[in-house]
Chains A and B, each alone.
Chain A
Amino acid sequence: MTLSDTCCPESTQLQEIKDEAITYIDSLYRTAVRMTGNAADAEDLVQDTYLRAFRSIEQFTPGTNLRAWLFKIQTNSFINEYRKRVRRPRNTSLDDVEEYYLYNHLVESGVQPAKSITEDEILEQIDDADVFRALDELPDNFRQVVLLADVEGFAYREIADILEIPVGTVMSRLHRARKRLKDQLLDHRDQIESGVKGQNDA
């Protein structure tokens, strides 16, 4: 298509960008739900994100990552507007999580390096509520990197741009958040197993 094919190519292009932006609404919403902790605040946050995005749509560079651009707007909006309103107490660090590498941790604690557990076996014993609870217990800035990396599939570089932090910080937050998440979910699994065992013994 050349410019002469249409009466107003600029507005057509802007409309196309907006239409594409709306296709990312599920991603933005599910992230917003996990960040705000409730559906009503999540809806407000997402609507606000689109309002800001549409108002400044001319600032978006076509050909660059529109989904990442929207996430950046939503993240800023969350930090500046919504975090203040959230009722539950929030800490911002995982200081109690030791920064050992997984292997060292396993060796030092004398734990058998992971019996292989299949995805189905994990799913059988952990439901959505367990996963959400474990995520909710992470401090905001750690939960954010897990959502962006593991749920939305952004690369380290993209996450660094969205959150305006160095790539090294993205990696260390991810490392610690995932370790915490895994410990919580598998602890939960162990509790269920020992619970079942206890019942059988009785």
Chain B
Amino acid sequence: MRRCEEIAALLYQYIDRELSDEEYREVRQHLDECPPCKDVFQLEENVLTVVAKCCRNVSAPQNLIDRVRRLSAEHTE
């Protein structure tokens, strides 16, 4: 099993799904067997999920959408 420090170094690549299948499995396995690391990863993921949800609540105002639609029509020749 990989050491905790090595796993911690892969934290963000794991969360971002940027690891190879092999590395992903290794991290997954470590987390299943090591509650402290699992807590660290979980906390990190939770914070980022909260940030993402909060930012995704914002949508474009209708008048902007209308203006962009008009631009799209103008530039069709």
Main SS class of interface, A: helix
Q: Which one, B44, B51, B58, B67, contacts A146 given CB within 8 A?
A: B51
Cβ-defined contact, A122 with B54, below 8 A:
no
A54–B72 CA distance with the chains assembled, in angstroms? 7
Give min CB distance, B4 to chain A, whole Å: 6
Cβ-defined contact, A106 with B46, below 8 A:
no
Given the complex, which residues of A lie within 8 Å of B11, measured CB to CB?
101-102
> Chain B interface: which of A71-79, A87-95, A173-181, A194-202?
A173-181
Main SS class of interface, B: helix
Cβ-defined contact, B68 with A25, below 8 A:
yes
Chain A interface category by residue count:
35 or more
A positions within 8 Å CB-CB of B: 11, 14-15, 18-19, 21-22, 25-26, 28-30, 33-34, 39, 43, 46-47, 50-51, 54-55, 57, 101-104, 106, 113-119, 122-123, 126, 128, 131-132, 135, 146-147, 149-151, 155-156, 171, 174-175, 178, 181-182, 185-186
B positions within 8 Å CB-CB of A: 4-5, 7-9, 11-13, 16, 18, 36-40, 42-44, 46-52, 54-61, 64-65, 67-69, 71-72, 75-77
